[in-house]
Each structure stands twice: as structure tokens, then as C-alpha cells.
Amino acid sequence: MDRTNPEKPSGLFNGIVDWMDERFQVRTLVQSALHVKIPRKAKTFYLGGITMFLFMVQVVTGSLLALYYQPTPDRAYDSVMFIMSNVNFGWLIRSIHSWGANLMIVSVVLHLLRVFFQGVYKRPRELTWVAGMFLLIVTLVFGFTGYLLPWDQRAYWATTVGTEIAGAMPFVGEFALNFLRSGPDITASTLSRFFGMHTLWLPMTLAAMLLVHLVLFHQQGIADPTKPVSRAKPDASATPEPEGKLLPFFPHYLLSEAIAWYVILGILIILASLWPVGLEAKANALQTPAHVKPEWYFLFLYQLLKFVPRVAGVLAPIVAIPLLVLLPFFDRNPELKPRKRLFAVIIGLLTVAGIIGLTIWGQFS
């Protein structure tokens, strides 16, 4: 014990905390972050926390892979082979990274669907929804840029198809194609550009957007789907929630989040072990595979373009994305219960069913 203050424990750790607290008020920051109350009725399914955990997994595994990866057409394929064959657990790290990218896209989509169908994107949480939509967009681009890096046949030709879809946009299609490919064709410049975006610009952008999303989430609080009152500015006319209807974030909810992270980590390791990510033949611009398809999260659009005019098929997501981003500002219906939001819920269900149907159709056609 500290002789000058018998109530205050001494030690190196406490000394460091005291030093930090004197300068940055870390205790106040930790208290504000952890000691909050959340509604017991809130049903988040831990999807937001799972998405953040998967992003951390991507950063760690991606950093390990970058130690050996060489982003040139002559060396990229061989460096991936070296990682899988000669680096201790290299095949497992690469497989976890690949499966983690797919699960991250799934979790962020499910997170946004949960928010939409519960209606908790509405006032006063409009900006939280907007930040989440931008996180989805950046996550999709994250996956798209990483897909080319192995430089095998599947990666090369899937990226070819994906960039051609972007090139079909009216007015700006040629610019988009040349920007993505760093020229008219997929070359060493394309690989270098995708590597730079995947390892530098997109992680920085995603981390910044995630920080904004977390700050908004902390200030607004977890929404109760029965009445999404903001913690920052509660309804003055409403009676305070009884303590029995509130749950401490720390340690109750945080412990549940940690358990969900362990479960996801276990799933990742099982998937990576039982179905490790392989590698096809080295990319060859002169040899087109029999069935060229984009990655699964763009497969619905690829399939849609087979049945509608190309311009219309590309315009659909261009129009839909801004509408989804600005949805809270268009949807002024204050009701949250699905039965009182039938039009929005039906449109949402039909859209999800259509995307899933087109994806499955595209996968097996």
C-alpha cells in the first residue's frame, strides 16, 4: 500500500495509470466507455462487435502475410506459394484471412439488416446508419481489392469481370475502369494499385469510419427496439427506465461479446482447417477459364446483367446505394414495430430474397 495514501494501492501499473490519468484523464475515459446501461430488450445479436473483431483478425493476419508477399506479377504468385508451403502455419494464416474477409462481409450485411428490420436507424440515429453504410461499402471494396493479390487464374479473371462491371457505368464507366486497372488492362500497375489500396488506404479508411461509428454508437447508446430514445438527449417527458430493465455494459454485455468473439474465432479456425484456401494456376491473360465469375458478393449483379440491359443493371446499385445511405432522412415514419412498417419491411424482404436468389442462381448456372 502507498504509505502516503493507505486507500490507494501502489505498484508499477498504478503508477503508469496515475501518470496517464494526470495528463489524459484515462480513468474518466474508461469510466465513460464501460460504465453505461443498455436496455435488456435490445437485440443486437453481437453483429457489430463481431464485425469489429473480424476487422482486427484481418489486420493481424494481413500484416503477417505482407511480411512475405511481393506485389509484382513475377513474384506475387510464387510468394503466395512460399507462404503456403514454407512459412510455419502460413497456409492457416492465409486461410483465416480469406475466410475472415468473407465472414466480415456477411456480418456487416447482417448487422445492417438487423438495424433496418428493427427500425432503429431512425431519429436520432441517422448518422450512425450512414456511417454503417459507408463501412459496408469500404468492406466490399476491401474484399474486392484483396481478391486479385494471389495473382492466380481465378483472381485475375474474377477481377477482370468485376472491373468490367464498373466500366459499364454510364458517363464515368471508362474513367472507373481505367482508375481501377490503372490503365485499360490488368497489369503490374493494377496489382500495385490494388495492393496499396488493400494494405494502406482501405484499412486506414475503415479504421477511421469504425471509430466514427463507435463514437456515435457510444453517444446514442444501444437502441431499444420498442423506443429508440437517445442516451445523449433522452425524451424529457418520458419516465426513466427502471434499473431492472437495464443491463450494465461492463461486465455483462462485454463478457457476452467476448464469448461471441471466441465462438467466431473457433469457427474461423475450423473453416480454415477443413477447407483451406487453395491456389489455381498462375494468372495468364491469354488463357480464359471456362467459367469466369466475380466473387460471391458481386455475383447477384453479375447474374442480373444477363437478363437486363447492361446500363440498367449497373444503374440499379448506383441508385440504390445513395437511397440506402439516406434512408433515415426519407423514412419519416416514427413507428418501429414491423407490423406498422409493412411497406418498408416487405420491400426489404423482397430485396434480400432477390439478391440471395440471384446469387445462388449465378453460383450454379
CA distances from 173 to 116, 139, 182 (A): 31, 22, 14
Report yes or no on 313 lying in a domain: no
User: Is position 334 within any domain?
Assistant: no
**pLDDT tens digit sequence for 149-181:** 999 999 999 999 999 988 888 888 899 999 999
**Dihedral angle at the C-alpha atoms of 320, 360, 279, 58, nearest 10 degrees?**
50
- What residues contact residue 47 under an 8 Å CB cut-off, 6+ apart? 107, 108, 110, 111, 114
Range of the domain at 114: 41-221+244-292
Q: What is the pLDDT of residues 15-72, one digit of tens each?
A: 888 888 888 888 888 887 777 778 877 888 999 999 999 999 999 999 999 999 999 9
Contacts 24+ apart (CB under 8 A), 253-262: 253/38, 254/34, 256/46, 257/46, 257/49, 260/46, 260/49, 260/50, 260/53, 261/49, 261/50, 261/53
Q: How many residues does the chain have?
A: 365
Domain assignment present for residue 30? The answer is: no
Taking the CA atoms of 45, 358, 310 and 144 in sequence, report the sign of the dihedral they define: positive
For the chain, what is the domain count?
1
Give me the half-sphere count of Cα atoms (radius 13 Å) on the Cβ side of residue 206: 26
Residue 354 Cα to chain centre, angstroms: 22
21 in a structural domain:
no
Q: Is residue 106 part of a domain?
A: yes
Q: Which residue has the higher pLDDT, 17 or 84?
A: 84
Q: Which of 67-81, 331-345, 347-361 has the lowest mean pLDDT?
A: 331-345
Let me know if residue 260 belongs to a domain: yes
pTM of the full structure? 0.89
Write 251-256 long-range contacts (CB < 8 A, 24+): 253/38, 254/34, 256/46
Tell me phi and psi for residue 363, to 5 degrees: -70, -35
Banded model confidence at residue 234, pLDDT cuts 50, 70, 90: low
Question: Is residue 228, in this structure, part of any structural domain at all?
Answer: no
Name residue, grid cell 456480418: 107
Residue 304 scores a pLDDT above 50: yes
CATH of the domain at 253: 1.20.810.10
Among the residue ranges 25-34, 268-277, 321-330, the one predicted with the least confidence is 25-34
CA distance 329 to 289: 46
- Domain assignment present for 363: no
* pLDDT for residue 30: 80
